Amino acid sequence: MSGSLTPALIAGVVVLMIVRQFAPQRAGGGRRVWVLPIILAVVAFTSGGGLIDHHHAGASMALEGVGLAVSLIGGILWGATARVWIGSDGAAWSRASVLSLVVWLGALAARIAVFALGHAMHVSLPTGAITLSFAVMLLARGAVVAFRMNALAPSSAPHAAFGAGIR
């Protein structure tokens, strides 16, 4: 993917995800949680810029490790601050809260601080690293929200005794 297209893709996904999070979303099954993060991870690993600055490999890997940790923690907190409820239709629903936005902006600020530290150290963080961090954040957020929604959702089928229906 071209160098100028990857940042545009990242920006588009960020805007889409923020807008979508503030609209109520019905529980959509486990696959929705994984699809976009996997696509972003593939883009991160296959982008021409790579994941690390090969001229400063050690510092670049350390900064990327910090960035991934920030993204993981930010995603967990983002998911934990989302509002989750059972609707009148009996399905689980979620929606980001104002606190979710504050957490997301805090994680973004922390990620920018990691980027600025790298810049001060003359270590570049390629767009693949930023894309991978965003994928980790989305995956963590989705997993936490899915877990919380599944904990609330009533079972749609009655629990049968083990072996019931076997002839």
pLDDT category, 167, cuts 50, 70, 90? very low
By residue range, what is the domain housing residue 62?
Answer: 5-151
**Structure confidence at residue 4 (pLDDT):** 61
Question: What are residue 87's phi and psi, to 5 degrees?
Answer: -80, 175
* Residue 125 is assigned to a structural domain of this protein: yes
Residue 163 located in a structural domain: no
Question: Which residues lie below 8 Å from residue 18, measured CB to CB, with a gap of 6+?
Answer: 101, 104
Question: Is residue 138 situated within a structural domain?
Answer: yes
CA 30 to chain centre: 14
For residue 50, pLDDT over 80 is answered with no
Neighbours of 125 (CB within 10 A): 22
Per-residue pLDDT, 161: 45
**Does any domain span residue 160?**
no
Nearest to 73 by CA among 14, 125, 140, 131: 140
Q: Is the pLDDT of residue 118 over 50?
A: yes
159, part of any domain: no
Residue 50 belongs to some domain of the structure: yes
18 within some domain = yes
Total structural domains in the chain? 1
Q: Rounded mean pLDDT of the chain? A: 81
Residue 105: partners with Cβ closer than 8 Å, 6 or more residues away: none
Residue 15 lies in a domain: yes
